Chain A
Amino acid sequence: MTSPALPDTSLLSHALIPTQQTAEASEALRQALNDDVVLFATATVMVEFLSLLRKLTNKGTLSTRESDVIRQRLSATIAAFLPITEHDAHAGYLVAARLGQSDTFDATGYVLAQRHGVEFWVSDRRFANSASAAGLTGIRLFA
């Protein structure tokens, strides 16, 4: 029996880019895959992650080859994409407003995860804490 999960951009970034939390994030994904978790993504997560890669490449933090390898491996870790509708985007805005977030990225991810019956995995403690305080469920914090 597989269980689906939707990692946020931050968790994927920590798992696929060498950061202070990479060891833990990579191990969490590896453990999840071994436990038959299937990872999903949204178009917004992809766009944001790839924007981050462009930013790091333009700054010279990552080489073009390194970014390309990370980009390809990102696709390999994602089983499928969850579609997003206009309503999802608006619902993301409303959730972000409820949580006092200054952007809708994670809130929209949460909406899509809920819509598709998928657990939302985050490494952003601020979002997780706000969501927990607001009584939102279905969120797992990796930090």
Chain B
Amino acid sequence: MVNAPHEHPTPDAPRAAPSAILITMDTERSAAASLSPEEHKAYKRRALAALDDIAELHREILERRGGVVIDVDAELAELRGRSDESSAP
């Protein structure tokens, strides 16, 4: 695995892109599990409500489009400049 140390070059030092991968868990930046119980409860409520709203919106969109779904994989591939590829294996 790769490591990208958090170096802070001095103004005179050349900035160099790392040439080897090093990924280490950054505990200082690992705020991922830092929601309080109240924040988590509020988050879960609003996220589930958003998914309910989205389900309703999807019904509207599909009705308008005559049931035709959107090929998001192809659109994303094109956006990423992968028009000759798909997300298939």
Binding site for B on A (CB under 8 A): 2-4, 9-10, 13-20, 22, 26, 29-30, 33-34, 36, 38-40, 48, 51-52, 55-56, 61-62, 66, 69-70, 72-74, 76-77, 79-80, 82-83, 85, 87-88, 90-91, 93-95, 98, 102-103, 105, 111, 114-118, 123-127, 129
Contact = CB atoms under 8 A, between A and B. Distances in A.
Given A95-B2, A125-B88, A126-B85, 7 more contacts: A18-B65, A19-B70, A33-B47, A52-B76, A62-B70, A91-B18, A115-B30
Interface string B10-48: 000000011111111110011111010001100110111
B32 A82 contact: yes
B72 A38 contact: no
Given A40-B32, A102-B81, A16 B54 contact: yes
Secondary structure type dominating chain A contacts = helix
6 contacts: A15-B51, A19-B70, A73-B53, A79-B35, A80-B32, A124-B87
Contacts of A62: 61, 70
